[in-house]
Amino acid sequence: MSNWQGPILSCHELTKFYPVGDGLFALKNVELEIRQGQFVVVMGPSGSGKSTLLNILGGIDRATYGEVILRGRKYSRLSEDDLAILRRKEIGMVFQFFNLLPELTALENIGFPMRLAGYGDKEIRERTAYLLDAVGLQERKNHYPSELSGGEQQRVAIARALANRPAVVLADEPTGNLDSVRSKEIMQLFSKFNKEEGQTFIIATHDRNFMEYADLTIHLVDGEIRERSDRSGAPI
């Protein structure tokens, strides 16, 4: 569906309720429409619902109420199996603690989603070589995660998230475990893929420095979008 014209990802009245204690709304009526190539940052204090939002948009978790639509496909209409297939093909995820497979090299980690998706050896070789180069890790391709620094591991994780050319890459606190120099390198890498390949990113972070790269920043408080701003911080 490369000629898809509508929003690439949207959610309507998205609500997540946890029946703990007196009950807790982790998300309340979240409305979002994200276009192809947008760089979206989700800011908010700890506990404001950022991870919950990303996990539901990524199809890892289900909403209590409301809808998520990815390229015209409604999550509520998909079985668990179909949602898993959609997730594998259309969503790339990056996490705070990298989540690489320890028994695979950098190169093998990057190619892993392509193997799951059934790509052939030649395509995997070409795509992983391109991605390794794009994230600046040619020299480290045969290293295992335990032999890489945190910043290098996160670069492998970003390359892996991009391997299947997903519609959207979701990153949950991707620099939360890195120092300020490495954080900046990672932000610039996201920005490079966004500018050069038109990749759509949604990044949840505490780090206000990410806002300068964002087309749209949404500010979550207690599970609600309180404000939307552009890269200068002006409300949209």
Q: Which residues make up the interface to ligand ADP (CB under 6 A)?
A: 18, 20, 24, 26, 44, 46-52
Tell me which residue has tokens 């997903």.
166
When the beta carbons of 46 and 146 are compared against ligand ADP, the nearer one is 46
Amino acid at 21: G
What DSSP designation does 235 have?
A: B
Provide the minimum distance between the beta carbon of 125 and ligand ADP in the complex, in angstroms, as a whole number. Answer: 37
Provide the minimum distance between the beta carbon of 31 and ligand ADP in the complex, in angstroms, as a whole number. Answer: 17
When the beta carbons of 52 and 154 are compared against ligand ADP, the nearer one is 52
Distance CA 210, CA 184 (A): 9
Provide the minimum distance between the beta carbon of 94 and ligand ADP in the complex, in angstroms, as a whole number. Answer: 14
Provide the minimum distance between the beta carbon of 159 and ligand ADP in the complex, in angstroms, as a whole number. Answer: 24
When the beta carbons of 43 and 114 are compared against ligand ADP, the nearer one is 43
When the beta carbons of 51 and 217 are compared against ligand ADP, the nearer one is 51
Sign, CA dihedral 100-106-111-112, equals negative
When the beta carbons of 60 and 117 are compared against ligand ADP, the nearer one is 60
When the beta carbons of 48 and 154 are compared against ligand ADP, the nearer one is 48
Distance CA 159, CA 27 (A): 30
Task: Report residue 91 as tokens.
Answer: 């969503």
Amino acid at 105: T
Q: How many CB atoms lie within 10 A of CB 51?
A: 19
Provide the minimum distance between the beta carbon of 175 and ligand ADP in the complex, in angstroms, as a whole number. Answer: 14
When the beta carbons of 49 and 58 are compared against ligand ADP, the nearer one is 49
Helix, strand or coil, per DSSP, at residue 162: helix
Residue 157's nearest CA partner among 202, 87, 98, 96 is: 98
Give how far the C-alpha of residue 123 lies from the chain's centroid of Cα atoms, to the nearest Å.
23
Residue 76's nearest CA partner among 87, 89, 92, 64 is: 64
Provide the minimum distance between the beta carbon of 111 and ligand ADP in the complex, in angstroms, as a whole number. Answer: 30
Count Cβ atoms within 10 A of the Cβ of residue 222 and give its class: 0-12 exposed, 13-18 middle, 19 or more buried.
middle
Strands 200-205 and 168-172: parallel
Provide the minimum distance between the beta carbon of 79 and ligand ADP in the complex, in angstroms, as a whole number. Answer: 22
